[in-house]
């Protein structure tokens, strides 16, 4: 009897052990399944490959717990504390191996996107748009591919290094000493090693160089478009744009103009204007004919830049403005400035005009900038002939309004307090006509037709 009981007890203990082992294995299996489910849910939660940090994992943990509480997860009956312990154990594994997997996903995804969109968005800028500072600097670097090594070294030493030092020591950069300023740059022509930019920027702790892309051929519009894309994503920020004036056309006086334009764009004056939101853009010597900053270097508000046309597509629109203004019924004249690309804004010069093309543009210090134009004796007067000539001159207000309507649309009208109404002759007459008609082109045509009987062409010079 005792033996039987002993045998029965042994059998009972054996069964209990087997049951315990089975439950233990089932528990492990459930946890493995849950781990896999958690990990794949995590990947689905971050398909674009966001960086995995403590906050990101914690947010996902809270999200998972909320789903359990709401009964949306098959493990809803599980104790939430168990999940928290499990998540805590998984964090090290996810961080260690998850980043490797997601990095592979990012690299593969970007390779495919670059192959399909080489001429569209600047991918380099898109991945670097999280600066600590509300200021970003953009540098359009051209290094001639067809010059000898000595000439290239002179350009990098005398132009690039000098210009970067001006920026690094400027008020704009030094006033942001405790913040990181992203220093985006494109390279065009001969490849410039990233090590050069890293070494040159190294003395300035808050200046972080970011290479957007290299182009064998190109112009300023490539970097201007990167600025436009940056501003569309960061409308509360502002940007400085510079380029190594003189690396393409080495002429006497280029160094002086380059240093002046760079210094002004990063100056205390322009920094103050941007911080006080006093204007759209600030630079050295703004010109009304044609509309541009001397040297095409400036600091600008992203809230303004984000609404500009794509600089790679604006040249045909500026050319259309010129062609249609010259043709009937307007038959505009081109006498106060030369009828040539630098003044018209055609060809590569569209990049120099780009920042000032929008009707909402307000340059800094415009109240102190005089309006200069040639052959004034034929335009400055109150006789019917003088007035009629002004109403057909492309480089005066009729031409400015004509270009606005061609590039940005007929109903995109300068604000009531815009400089165009008080800086150009006959500004209030055009202002009242535009307000009455609601059309820029309509106002230009109406005023020109009214004065047409008195129009007398200016005799051509011998």
Q: What is the mean pLDDT of residues 22-26?
A: 54
Hey, how many other C-beta atoms are within 10 angstroms of the C-beta on 116? 8
Q: What is the pLDDT of residue 33?
A: 52
- Does residue 107 sit in the same domain as residue 136? no
Q: What is the pLDDT of residue 390?
A: 93
How many domains does the chain contain in total?
Answer: 3
With respect to residue 164, please indicate whether it lies within any of the assigned structural domains. yes
- Does residue 51 sit in the same domain as residue 151? no
- Does residue 335 sit in the same domain as residue 371? yes
E strand intervals along 302-455? none
Q: What is the mean pLDDT of residues 390-406?
A: 96
DSSP 373-404: -S-GGGTSSSSHHHHHHHTTBTTSHHHHHHHH
- Does residue 244 sit in the same domain as residue 265? yes
Hey, how many other C-beta atoms are within 10 angstroms of the C-beta on 313? 11
Identify how many contiguous H helices and E strands the chain contains and give both numbers. Answer: 21, 8
The larger pLDDT score, comparing residue 330 to residue 32, is at: 330
Let me know: does 257 contact 175? Beta carbons within 8 Å. Answer: no
Sequence-separated (6 or more) residues with CB below 8 Å from residue 243 = 139, 140, 141, 142, 220, 223, 296, 297
Question: In the predicted model, is pLDDT for residue 163 greater than 80?
Answer: yes
- Does residue 235 sit in the same domain as residue 342? no
With respect to residue 1, please indicate whether it lies within any of the assigned structural domains. no
Query: What does the alpha-carbon distance between residue 378 and residue 79 come to, in Å, rounded to a whole number?
Result: 90
Q: Which residues of 162-196 are buried (b: 16+ CB within 10 A; e: fewer)?
A: bbbebbbebebbebbeeeebbbbbbbbbbebeeeb
E strand intervals along 163-258? 181-189, 207-215, 238-242
Q: What is the pLDDT of residue 375?
A: 78
Question: What six digits make up the tokens of 380?
Answer: 């400055």
- Does residue 339 sit in the same domain as residue 380? yes
What are the C-alpha distances in Å from 10 to residues 16, 19, 23, 318, 359? Answer: 10, 14, 20, 97, 95
Sequence-separated (6 or more) residues with CB below 8 Å from residue 304 = 280, 281, 358, 360, 361
With respect to residue 123, please indicate whether it lies within any of the assigned structural domains. no
The larger pLDDT score, comparing residue 111 to residue 381, is at: 381
Sequence-separated (6 or more) residues with CB below 8 Å from residue 346 = 315, 318, 319, 322
With respect to residue 125, please indicate whether it lies within any of the assigned structural domains. no
With respect to residue 3, please indicate whether it lies within any of the assigned structural domains. no
Q: What is the pLDDT of residue 203?
A: 96
307, 338, 363: which is the final residue of a domain?
307
User: Measuring CA to CA, which residue among 190, 192, 196 is closest to residue 164?
Assistant: 196
- Does residue 398 sit in the same domain as residue 299? no
71, 93, 116: which is the final residue of a domain?
116
pLDDT tens digits, residue range 249-282?
666 678 898 999 999 999 999 999 999 999 999 9
Let me know: does 302 contact 228? Beta carbons within 8 Å. Answer: no
Let me know: does 227 contact 142? Beta carbons within 8 Å. Answer: no
DSSP 263-314: HHHTSHHHHHHHHTT--SEEESSEEETTEEETTS-EEEEHHHHTTSPPTTTH
Please report, in angstroms and rounded to a whole number, the separation of the first and last CA atoms in the chain.
139
- Does residue 292 sit in the same domain as residue 364? no
Let me know: does 400 contact 424? Beta carbons within 8 Å. Answer: yes
With respect to residue 301, please indicate whether it lies within any of the assigned structural domains. yes
- The conformation of residue 72, written as its DSSP 8-state character, comes to -
Domain range holding 261? Answer: 131-307
- Does residue 303 sit in the same domain as residue 444? no
307, 336, 363: which is the final residue of a domain?
307
The 3-class SS string of 46-69 reads CCCCCCCCHHHHHHHHHHHHHHHH
With respect to residue 122, please indicate whether it lies within any of the assigned structural domains. no
Q: What is the mean pLDDT of residues 42-68?
A: 41
With respect to residue 272, please indicate whether it lies within any of the assigned structural domains. yes
Categorize the per-residue pLDDT at 365 as very low, low, confident or very high, splitting at 50, 70 and 90.
confident
Least confident interval from 104-113, 129-138, 343-352: 104-113
Q: What is the pLDDT of residue 53?
A: 40
């Amino acid at each position: 009897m005792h033996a039987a009981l002993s045998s029965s007890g042994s059998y009972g203990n054996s069964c209990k052990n087997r049951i315990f082992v089975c439950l233990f294995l089932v528990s492990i299996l459930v946890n493995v399944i849950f781990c896999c489910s958690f990990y794949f849910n995590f990947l689905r939660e971050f398909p674009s490959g966001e960086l995995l940090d403590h906050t990101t994992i914690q947010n996902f943990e809270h999200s998972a717990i909320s789903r359990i509480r709401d009964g949306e997860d098959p493990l809803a009956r599980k104790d939430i504390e168990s999940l928290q312990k499990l998540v805590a154990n998984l964090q090290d594994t996810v961080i260690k191996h998850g980043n490797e997997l997601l990095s592979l996903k990012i690299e593969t995804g970007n390779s495919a996107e670059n192959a399909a969109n080489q001429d569209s968005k600047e991918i380099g800028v898109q991945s670097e748009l999280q600066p600590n500072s509300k200021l970003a600097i953009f540098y359009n670097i051209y290094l001639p591919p067809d010059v000898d090594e000595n000439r290239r070294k002179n350009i990098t030493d005398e132009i690039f290094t000098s210009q970067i030092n001006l920026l690094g020591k400027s008020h704009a950069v030094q006033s942001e000493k405790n913040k990181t300023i992203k220093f985006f740059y494109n390279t065009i022509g001969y490849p410039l090693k990233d090590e050069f930019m890293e070494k040159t920027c190294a003395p300035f702790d808050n200046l972080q160089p970011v290479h957007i892309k290299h182009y064998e051929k190109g112009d300023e519009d490539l970097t201007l478009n990167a600025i436009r894309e940056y501003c569309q994503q960061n409308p509360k920020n502002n940007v400085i744009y510079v380029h190594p004036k003189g690396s393409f056309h080495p002429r006497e006086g280029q160094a002086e103009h380059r240093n002046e334009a760079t210094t002004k764009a990063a100056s205390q004056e322009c920094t103050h204007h941007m911080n006080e939101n006093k204007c759209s853009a600030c630079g050295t010597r703004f010109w009304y004919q044609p509309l541009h900053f001397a040297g095409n270097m400036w600091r600008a508000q992203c809230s303004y830049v984000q609404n500009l046309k794509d600089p790679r597509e604006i040249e045909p629109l500026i050319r259309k403005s010129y062609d249609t203004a010259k043709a009937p019924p307007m038959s505009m004249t081109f006498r106060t400035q030369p009828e040539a690309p630098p003044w018209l804004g055609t060809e590569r010069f569209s990049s120099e005009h780009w920042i000032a093309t929008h009707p909402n543009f307000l340059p800094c210090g415009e109240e102190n900038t005089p309006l200069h134009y040639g052959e004034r004796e034929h335009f400055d007067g109150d006789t019917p002939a003088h007035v009629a000539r002004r109403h057909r001159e492309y480089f005066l207000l009729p031409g400015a309004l004509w270009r606005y309507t061609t590039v940005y649309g007929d109903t995109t009208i300068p604000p009531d307090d815009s400089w165009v109404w008080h800086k150009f002759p006959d500004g209030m007459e055009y202002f009242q006509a535009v307000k009455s008609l609601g059309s820029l082109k309509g106002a230009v045509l109406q005023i020109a037709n009214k004065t047409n009987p008195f129009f007398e062409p200016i005799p051509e010079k011998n």
